[in-house]
Amino acid sequence: MAQAAAGKRNWFAIWVSVAVVVVVALVIGLVVWMNNVSSGPGAQPSSSNINTDTGAISFGSGPDVVDTYVDFMCPYCGQFEKTEGDTIKQLISENKITLNLHPVTILDRASQGTKFSSRSASAMFAIAEADPANAYAFMAAMYQNQPQESTPGLTDDQIVSIAKQAGVNVTSDLEQAITSGKYIKFAQSKGLPQGAQGTPTLLVNGKNVPVTYNPQTDIVANLKG
């Protein structure tokens, strides 16, 4: 009888151990899943002009490729747009370049907790998806209305207003995408290219070009055509 009782206790202990292992595995799986959800790219824009792997928004279809990495809170990016934007826009219209615009979010720390860089980048992706024809005009308008660093930045409603003034067709769905920060996680999952130190970062045909704020030196001189 003693042996039978001991056997039952052993089997009970074994099943308890198995149950504990299963519970632990389930908990670990849940934690991993929650971490993936919280740190994943979230909703991704779906449009032929947006590369979801690189986070690039494409304008034009010229043979030379220009990549710019910009942050809407970055004053140097504002200066870059002011000094080189017209040349870039002209090269796009003349079908000489393809511009890959990469909105990044490295200056969230400079907007008093409002995450302006992330919100504005998310809005850029939302507009590029919904109204690609007017996305470049929105980008330029954002720099024309650029807030200073270490301020809260623009509100979501102000971003919507700028989009409308830039000619963007702001439907109710697009407005919701902007004000809800639909693509914030996606924007935050992208970053600067290897070796880059900050924004603006400029690549012409894959070559990192130091920004001098002279478009003839920075861009035109590095084109193949």
Residue 99 belongs to domain with CATH number: 3.40.30.10
Asked if 148 and 169 sit in the same domain, the reply is yes
Question: Is 2 a domain residue?
Answer: no
Asked if 22 and 105 sit in the same domain, the reply is no
- pTM for this model (two decimals): 0.82
CB-CB contact of 184 with 38 (8 Å): no
Asked if 141 and 208 sit in the same domain, the reply is yes
144-190 per-position pLDDT tens digit: 999 999 999 999 999 999 999 999 999 999 999 999 999 999 999 99
Q: Which pLDDT value is given to residue 42?
A: 87
> For the packed helices 135-144 and 75-93, what is the interaxial angle rounded to 10 degrees?
150
Query: How many structural domains comprise the chain?
Result: 2
Distance set, CA 166 to CA 104, 137, 143, 162, 222 (Å): 21, 6, 12, 6, 31
Distance set, CA 217 to CA 90, 210, 221 (Å): 16, 10, 5
Instruction: Identify the three-state secondary structure at position 223.
Output: coil
Q: Range of 130's domain?
A: 48-220
Asked if 73 and 134 sit in the same domain, the reply is yes
Question: Is 188 a domain residue?
Answer: yes
Q: Which pLDDT value is given to residue 152?
A: 98
Q: How far apart are CA 182 and CA 186, in angstroms?
A: 9
